[in-house]
Chain A
Amino acid sequence: DAGVIQSPRHEVTEMGQEVTLRCKPISGHDYLFWYRQTMMRGLELLIYFNNNVPIDDSGMPEDRFSAKMPNASFSTLKIQPSEPRDSAVYFCASSPPPGRDEQYFGPGTRLTVT
């Protein structure tokens, strides 16, 4: 079975531009998580969904960030407008139904905002 799929793998954009990151979770997993990883702050949870519904978005840094999950096999994280401090690696992870807590990570998107 394919793992978590993310696209693009690398994104370089200029400050002020809109950025959209995409994620396809593992089939059958009903939890989806978006993380951001930087050297300074480590791995931070931004938002997570259960059965396509956002459960906790308290980690979203500000209104410039938004996430959607229109169906069980697709989610997006959008940054508009982007700023240099948004430069990081963004990971998507998915998890099976309750009773199994383990999360499986996608390869990540390395975002550079100049």
Chain B
Amino acid sequence: QKEVEQNSGPLSVPEGAIASLNCTYSDRGSQSFFWYRQYSGKSPELIMFIYSNGDKEDGRFTAQLNKASQYVSLLIRDSQPSDSATYLCAVRVSGAGSYQLTFGKGTKLSVIP
């Protein structure tokens, strides 16, 4: 079974610090990787996606992918209290014509003012 694993947290960081969120996946053929943010009582919101090994930066967010280690991470620089949410890692399963995403259970981040 194809799995996506995340530390459930909560992860607490002080305001202004770097928050590091990690995710591992079991399907070595996975090709597309996503980070969603979900505020309590709200729907998941796409914040980053990455397809190639290495880093991808977008504002305060950096996604990192290491396919050899089957590992994807999200760094949030200068963390703000508004970043407090659950972060879901999602992986597109391999296979021609397959557009399903498998989600991890999420890591709850708390940014302390």
- Residue positions of A touching B, CB distance < 8 A: 31, 33, 42-45, 48, 50, 55-56, 91, 95, 98, 101-108
From B97, B100, B103, residue with most partner A Cβ within 10 Å = B100
Which partner residue on chain A sits nearest B31 by CB separation?
A101
Residues of A within 8 A of B34 (CB): 101-103
Given A45-B100, A48-B100, A102-B34, decide whether A107 and B44 contact each other with a Cβ distance below 8 A. Answer: no
Q: How large is the interface on B (under 10, 10 to 19, 20 to 34, 35 or more residues)?
A: 20 to 34
Q: How far is the CA of A45 from the CA of B101 in the complex (A)?
A: 8
Residues of B that sit less than 8 Å from A by CB: 32, 34, 36, 42-46, 49, 88, 92, 97-106
Give the docked Cα–Cα distance between A33 and B34 (Å).
16
| Chain B hits for A50, CB < 8 A | 99
Q: What are 22 A-B contacts defined by CB distance under 8 Å?
A: A31-B99, A33-B100, A33-B101, A42-B103, A42-B106, A43-B44, A43-B88, A43-B105, A48-B99, A48-B100, A56-B98, A91-B44, A95-B99, A98-B99, A101-B101, A102-B46, A103-B34, A103-B101, A104-B46, A105-B36, A105-B43, A107-B43
